[in-house]
Amino acid sequence: MARKRSVSPTKAGPQATSGAQALALDANPAWLNAIRKNLVSWYQNHQRDLPWRADHDPYRILVSEMMLVQTTVAAVIPYFARFMARFPTVQDLASAPAADVLKAWEGLGYYRRARLLHAAAQAVVERHGGQFPRSRAELEALPGIGRYIAGAVASFAFDLPEAILEANTQRLLARLIAWPGELGKTPTQKRLWSVAEALVPDKQPGDFNQALMDLGATICLPRNPLCLLCPLAEQCEARQQGLQQTLPLKAARQAPLVSREVGVLAVRQNQLLLARRSPGQLWEEFWEIPTMHESGADPAGRVRLDGSEGDLIQAVRLATGLTITPGNALREFKYSVTRHAVTLQVVSGAVVKGVVEPGPGYAELRWVNLDDVVTFTLSAVNRQVLAWLQKDEAWRNLPPGEEPQARPKSRKKTSS
């Protein structure tokens, strides 16, 4: 039977539980025990069959959790299988070149995760002899491992009573206590972590945390939660107050920063000119067609354009060492990265003269056969460009220009 709530109605409708009321909930043993009992019972019959749950290997768990940050389970599953086939052990990942790791991650996005995962694997091998540390504090000391992932590895792999809080569970917990604050605010995060810590049991904490995640992912949905199927409906304050559709509160999204880029499709004997980004940039170690920034906030710090043809010629010369004759605008591609909404305009560029030499923003330039481009690690938008080139053979008829000169060898000075 649902508990009665003394809620004062207003013109705006029912109000969320006050902070003081919410603070008292996780101190209520009956409330805590009911959640644990009902959730574990539900999980026994409804748990998801996920490949990283096949065992308690901390390495597999770490890979899956890093992949799942801001990415859906459905999207991660095929990438996880390929990644584990390529790097089956933490030693395999630790010893792999960074370029190979990024290539295996290609298409999953948020590539900083791949770099941090690589660094964490190296730390496990170098600091711990290839054995994962068991304590949350030692796990958090690994590169890129925060409180949530440390708790996930500790509880899923070692069955330690460590709390977790991620996208699905923070939404679920905010509804359970009808928390009135915005999710992204520091007081809210502190409060939800305290609830998670109070809820996690000493017995089978890993299963309990997995159950919380599964319930949030399949029942306590962001929109139109399936409350009639929820095993915690009786314990849910938002449900009792009719606020399950409005909680948790989210901050208004900021407008994206609009940016424009120009990418040059330089062709030489059925080869494309590709450029590799310099270390320290957003797309570090990734390859792309030489690209200049035209307008808006530049997330990559590349050569800027003023929009004129002359400026493009100068910018390409600065970035690649080549002088080109700009051709037609061939196609536009739109993509998003962090807070930027970017339009990439691809133009043809006939090479006139010059020596191939990477300029600011690039570590290397290389002429590449189209069939070989797929072996390079490309950003998402450059994979779109590649797919277009593979379907549309017209690019092969672009003016090839002259053969670029080889870099002259330096000569030793001789005294006369």
- Tell me what the mean pLDDT of segment 386-403 comes to: 67
- Tell me what the mean pLDDT of segment 106-113 comes to: 92
Pick the CATH number of 257-397 from 2.60.120.10, 3.40.228.10, 3.90.79.10, 3.40.30.10: 3.90.79.10
65 as an active site residue: the answer is yes
pLDDT tens-digit series, residues 247-263: 999 888 889 989 999 99
- pLDDT exceeds 90 at position 111: yes
CB 118 within 8 A of CB 93: yes
Residue 405 confidence (pLDDT): 39
The first and second tokens of residue 37, run together, are 């009992």
Q: Which helix (H) or strand (E) holds 313?
A: helix 309-320
Q: What band does 282 get if pLDDT is binned at 50, 70 and 90?
A: confident
Question: Rounded distance, CA 215 to CA 396, Å?
Answer: 53
The first and second tokens of residue 113, run together, are 């995760």
Q: What band does 413 get if pLDDT is binned at 50, 70 and 90?
A: very low
**Number of residues assigned to the chain:** 416
- pLDDT exceeds 80 at position 183: yes
- The per-residue pLDDT of the chain, averaged, comes to 88
Residue 299 confidence (pLDDT): 63
Between 270 and 70, the more confident residue is 70
Torsion (CA) 204, 208, 209, 215 in degrees, nearest 10: 160
Between 399 and 347, the more confident residue is 347
Residue with tokens 């539980």: 17
pLDDT tens-digit series, residues 28-55: 999 999 999 999 999 999 999 999 999 9
Q: What band does 185 get if pLDDT is binned at 50, 70 and 90?
A: very high
Q: What band does 409 get if pLDDT is binned at 50, 70 and 90?
A: very low
Question: Rounded distance, CA 51 to CA 138, Å?
Answer: 26
Burial 264-290 (b: 16+ CB within 10 A, else e): bbbbbeebbbbbbbbeebbbbbbbbbb
Question: Rounded distance, CA 398 to CA 84, Å?
Answer: 41
CA separation, residue 49 to residues 52, 78, 260 (Å): 9, 14, 43
Torsion (CA) 292, 259, 117, 205 in degrees, nearest 10: -170
- pLDDT exceeds 60 at position 148: yes
Residue 8 confidence (pLDDT): 33
pLDDT tens-digit series, residues 344-371: 999 999 888 998 999 988 999 999 998 8
Percent of all residues in the chain with a pLDDT value above 90, rounded to a whole number: 71
Q: Of 65, 162, 285, 294, which one is the catalytic site residue? A: 65
- pLDDT exceeds 60 at position 231: yes
Comparing CA positions, the residue from 24, 42, 44 lying closest to residue 32 is 24
Q: What band does 399 get if pLDDT is binned at 50, 70 and 90?
A: low
- Tell me what the mean pLDDT of segment 223-247 comes to: 97
Question: Rounded distance, CA 208 to CA 216, Å?
Answer: 12
The first and second tokens of residue 118, run together, are 């690589």
CB 322 within 8 A of CB 316: yes
- pLDDT exceeds 80 at position 22: no
CA separation, residue 300 to residues 1, 266, 291, 361 (Å): 57, 21, 10, 8
Give the CA count within 13 Å in the CB-facing half-sphere of 238.
Answer: 24
pLDDT tens-digit series, residues 290-344: 999 988 876 666 788 876 767 999 999 999 999 999 888 899 999 998 888 999 9
Residue 300 confidence (pLDDT): 64
The first and second tokens of residue 249, run together, are 């509160």
**By CB neighbour count within 10 A (0-12 exposed, 13-18 middle, 19+ buried), where does 213 fall?**
buried
Rounded to two decimals, the pTM is: 0.85
Q: Where are the domains of the chain?
A: 19-241, 257-397
Residue 66 confidence (pLDDT): 98
CATH code of 19-241, in short, is 1.10.340.30
- Tell me what the mean pLDDT of segment 119-131 comes to: 98
